Amino acid sequence: MRAMAKPVINHRGPEFRELYRRILNNLKFVFETKGDVFVLTASGTGGVECAIRNILSNGDKIAVPVNGVFSERLRNAVTAFGGKSIETTIDWGSAITPAQVEDLFEKEKNIKAFAVVYNETSTGATTRNLKEIGKICHDHEALFVVDAISILGGDELPVDEWGVDICVAGSQKCLMTPPGLVMLSVNEAAWKIAETARRSYYFDLLEYRKFLANYETPYTPAVTLFYALDEALLMMKEEGLQPRYNRHNLCARSLYAGLEALGFQIFPRPEFRSQVVVAANYLPKIDDKKFRELLREKYHVVVAGGMGKLKGAMFRIGVMGIVSQLEILTTIGAIESTLLDLGHEFEYGVGSRAARDVFARQSQR
Ligand code: PLP
Q: For the chain, list residues with pLDDT below 50.
A: none
- Please tell me if the CB atom of residue 121 comes closer than 6 angstroms to any atom of ligand 1: yes
Using alpha carbons, select from 321, 337, 322, 331 the residue that is nearest to residue 355. Answer: 331
Tell me which of 238, 273, 289 is where a domain ends: 238
Alpha helix locations (H) across 10-81? 14-31, 44-53, 69-80
| The pLDDT of residue 182 | 98
Same domain, 231 and 247: no
- Please tell me if the CB atom of residue 76 comes closer than 6 angstroms to any atom of ligand 1: no
Tell me which of 216, 238, 260 is where a domain ends: 238
| The pLDDT of residue 198 | 80
Same domain, 210 and 286: no
CA distances (Å), origin 342, targets 205, 271, 303: 52, 32, 17
- Please tell me if the CB atom of residue 71 comes closer than 6 angstroms to any atom of ligand 1: no
Q: Quick one: which atom of ligand 1 is closest to the CA of 151?
A: 3
Same domain, 215 and 245: no
Same domain, 99 and 231: yes
Same domain, 282 and 176: no
The DSSP bridge partners found for residue 40 are 182
Using alpha carbons, select from 153, 155, 160 the residue that is nearest to residue 176. Answer: 153
| The pLDDT of residue 199 | 79
- Please tell me if the CB atom of residue 150 comes closer than 6 angstroms to any atom of ligand 1: yes
- Please tell me if the CB atom of residue 42 comes closer than 6 angstroms to any atom of ligand 1: no
Same domain, 216 and 255: no
Using alpha carbons, select from 114, 117, 131 the residue that is nearest to residue 44. Answer: 117
Can you give the residue range of the structural domain that contains 329? 241-363
* CATH number for 107: 3.40.640.10
The total domain count for the chain is 2
Using alpha carbons, select from 121, 123, 356, 155 the residue that is nearest to residue 257. Answer: 356
- Residue 62 CA to residue 299 CA, distance in Å, equals 45
Distance 45 CA to ligand 1 centre (A): 6
Q: Quick one: which atom of ligand 1 is closest to the CA of 182?
A: 15
- Residue 79 CA to residue 148 CA, distance in Å, equals 20
Within 8 A by CB and 6+ apart from 306, the residues are 122, 279, 288, 312, 313, 314, 315, 316
Q: Quick one: which atom of ligand 1 is closest to the CA of 46?
A: 16
- Residue 202 CA to residue 182 CA, distance in Å, equals 13
* CATH number for 347: 3.90.1150.10
| The pLDDT of residue 364 | 75
Same domain, 178 and 88: yes
| The pLDDT of residue 363 | 80
- Residue 201 CA to residue 192 CA, distance in Å, equals 18
Same domain, 278 and 133: no
- Please tell me if the CB atom of residue 149 comes closer than 6 angstroms to any atom of ligand 1: yes
| The pLDDT of residue 43 | 98
Distance 174 CA to ligand 1 centre (A): 12
Which DSSP letter does residue 273 get? Answer: B
Same domain, 315 and 226: no
| The pLDDT of residue 365 | 66
Same domain, 182 and 299: no
Using alpha carbons, select from 9, 39, 40, 43 the residue that is nearest to residue 24. Answer: 39
Distance 70 CA to ligand 1 centre (A): 7
Same domain, 254 and 232: no
Q: In 46-68, which positions are buried (b, 16+ CB within 10 angstroms) versus exposed (e)?
A: bbbbbbbbbbbeeebbbbbbbbb
Q: Give the 3-state secondary structure of residue 56.
A: coil
Same domain, 22 and 154: yes
Tell me which of 190, 222, 238 is where a domain ends: 238
Ligand 1 pocket mutation pick from 70, 72, 146, 183 by most atoms within 8 angstroms of CB: 70
DSSP 99-149: HHHHHHHHHS--EEEEEEESEETTTTEE---HHHHHHHHHHTT-EEEEE-T
Angle, vertex CA 208, rays to CA 12 and CA 76, nearest 5: 135
